[in-house]
Amino acid sequence: MNGMKKALWLIVGVLSALLLQAGVAHAQKKTLVVALNQDPDILDPTLSRTYVGRIIYAHMCEKLYEIDAGLRIVPQLAADLPQFSDAGKTVTIKLRPGVKFNDGTPMNAEAVRFSLDRHRAMKGSNRRSELDSVTAVEVVDPLTVRLRLKAPFSPIVATLADRAGMPVSPAQANKLGDKFGTAPVCVGPWSFVERVPQDRIVLEKSAHYFDPGQARFDRLVFRVIPDDNVRLANLRSGDIDLMHLVSPTDAASLRKEGRFDMPSVTGLGYQGITLNLRNKTGKTQAPADLGTPLANDPRLRQALELAIDREVLNQVVWDGQYTPGCTPIPPVSPFADKSRKCAGRDVAKAKQLLAAAGLAGGYAFELTIINDPPQRRVGEVIQGMAKEAGFNITLRPSEFASALTDDDNGKLQAFLIGWSGRVDPDANIHQFQTCGGSLNTTLACDEGIDALLNKAREVSDLGQRIGLYREAVDKFAGSRRNIVYLYHLNYIVAHAKNLKGYTAVPDGLIRIKGTSWN
C-alpha cells in the first residue's frame, strides 16, 4: 500500500512540475503572434484603405472614439463625447490629458488639428470625403478642438471612431511626408518596429502609452499567411497564438478539437463585385468612356446579378455561415431595411437581357480576385453560375495591395472586393457611391443619388435616415449596379484557450489590448 501511495505521489509531483513548467513558459512568453490572411497596404491612416490595416492600427494608432461590443461609441483619446452647438454645425471635443505619441511628443489639440487637416487636404487621402462636411478645425485650448461643419453631419462621431479620427505625430509626419507609412507614429499601447512585406509586421510595447497596464505583451507579431490551410496548421502547431478569419469550413473541425476558444460575430461590412464604369486613367482623373458593354449598358450588369444565386454561393463556399445580402447595410445594423428582398437567380431573364443588348452569343470579361483559396472559390462559383447565363468570365488572381492600386488606377474591369464596414452606414456608402467620393473607383456619378446620401448625413432621425438610404439603394444597387452586393461576413477568430480577456466586436477587428495569458 505504501509503495502504491509513493508511486501516486511521484506521479502527482511530476504532473505538478510539468504544469508549473508550462505555466512558467507562458508567463515568460512576452510575444503574441497573430496570423492575418492579407498584407495591409500603406500604414498611413490618411492614405490606407485595407481592412487588415485597421487591425494593425487598433494596436498602434488609437482614435478619438472607439466602438464597443454593443456598437456603442465611447471616448478613446477624447475625454468625453462631443458637444454640439450652432444647430449641429459646431462640434467641440475635449481631449484626454497627459497623452503622448509613441515618439514622446504631446498629443494635444494642435496635433489633432494637424492630423484632421492632413486627412482633409493631403494628396491621395482616402479620408477626404469622410471629412467633407468639415470646413475648419480650430484649437480652442491645449485640450480642446472645435470642428466647424458646413451642415449638420450625423455620422461625425462614427467617422472619428475610425481612421479619420486617428491623430498622427506631427513631428514624424512633417519629417517623412508621404513616406509616413514606412515608419508610422501614433498613440497606442504598442509602437511600430518593422515591416517585411508579405511576411510580418512587428510592434513593441510603447514607453509612452498613457495606460501601460493594457499592453501585457512586450511584442506583437502580425504574420501574413494568405493560405487558410497554412494558417490553420500554424495555429494547431502553436506557431501562432491567434488566427484571424477562420473559414467557416474549418470552424466546425476546430470546435470539435476543443483546444481553442472561437469567438465570432456578424460583421458590419459587405462583400461584392465592383464594376468599373468610367475609370479609365485613375480615380482622381476625369471620367471617360471605357468602351465596354459591361461599363456602358446597365442591362449587362443586371444580367450578371441575375446569374448569381447568393444563397447557393453562401452554402457552397461558406457552409451557409455567412449572410446573403444585396445592399451595403448589414442586417445587424439598426439602419437595415427589413422589408428589402434580394432578387433571386433568373438565368432565363439574364439571357434575355444579354440578347436585348445584342450579345445573344455571350459576353466575356475579366474578374480580378484576391489570390487566396476562399476568394478563388467564390470567384469559381460565380464564374460557373455566370457561364450558364452566357458570361465567359476569366479570373485574374492578384496580391491584395496590388489589386487595390490597379483598381484605383482604372486597370480593372471587375473586382471581387468587400468593405469591412462601419457602425454608421454613411461610411459604407457615401465614399463609394457619390460623385468624387474618395473610394469611388468606378467613377459612377448621379447627382440624384448624391442628394439622397447628403441628406441622410444631415438628419438625425433614424426612421428618416432609413427611408433615405432605402431610396438611394434602389438607385445605385437596384438600377446602376456599379457594385453588386453579395453577402455579409461572419468574423470567426481562433485563439489558445489560455489567452484571456479577448472580446469580439462587430467590426471584426482584433483587439489585443487588455488580454493576457491566464
Q: What sign has the CA pseudo-torsion 447, 336, 377, 238?
A: positive
The pTM for the full model equals 0.80
Q: Are strands 73-75 and 260-261 parallel, antiparallel or unpaired?
A: unpaired
Dihedral sign (CA 477, 478, 484, 488): positive
Residue 97 confidence (pLDDT): 98
Residues of the chain predicted below pLDDT 50: 1-2, 4-28
Task: Provide the CATH number for the domain formed by 31-38+188-266+491-517 in this structure.
Answer: 3.40.190.10
The answer to whether the CB of 483 falls within 8 A of the CB of 477 is: yes
Spatial CB neighbours of 73, under 8 Å, sequence gap ≥ 6: 65, 66, 67, 81, 157, 158, 161, 423
Distance between CA atoms of residues 321 and 490, nearest Å: 7
CB of 415 closer than 8 Å to CB of 407: yes
CA distance 403 to 371: 10
pLDDT in the model for residue 25: 44
Q: How many helices (H) and strands (E) does the chain have?
A: 16, 23
Per-position DSSP letters for 326-343, written without gaps between them? SSSS-TTSTT--TT--PP
User: For residue 183, what are the contacts with CB-CB under 8 A and spacing of at least 6?
Assistant: 172, 176, 192
Identify the pLDDT of residue 11: 46
Bridging pattern class, strands 391-398 and 264-266: unpaired
Q: What's the number of CA atoms in the CB half-sphere (13 Å) around residue 17?
A: 6
CATH class of this structure's domain 62-169: alpha beta
CATH class for the region spanning 270-488: alpha beta
Q: What one-letter code names the amino acid at 505?
A: V
Q: Which helix (H) or strand (E) holds 470?
A: helix 462-475
How far is Cα 309 from Cα 382, in angstroms, rounded to an integer?
A: 9
Q: How do strand 242-243 and strand 31-36 relate by DSSP bridges?
A: parallel
Cell numbers describing residue 128: 477626404
What residue segments make up the domains of the chain, in order of their start? 31-38+188-266+491-517, 62-169, 270-488
pLDDT at 3: 52
Query: Is the distance from CB of 317 to CB of 381 less than 8 angstroms?
Result: yes
Q: Residue 348 class from Cβ within 10 Å (0-12 exposed, 13-18 middle, 19+ buried)? A: exposed
Q: What secondary structure letter does DSSP report for 322?
A: S
For residue 305, report the phi and psi dihedrals to the nearest 5 degrees: -65, -40
Note whether 76 and 64 are within 8 A (CB): yes
Distance CA 438, CA 67 (A): 23
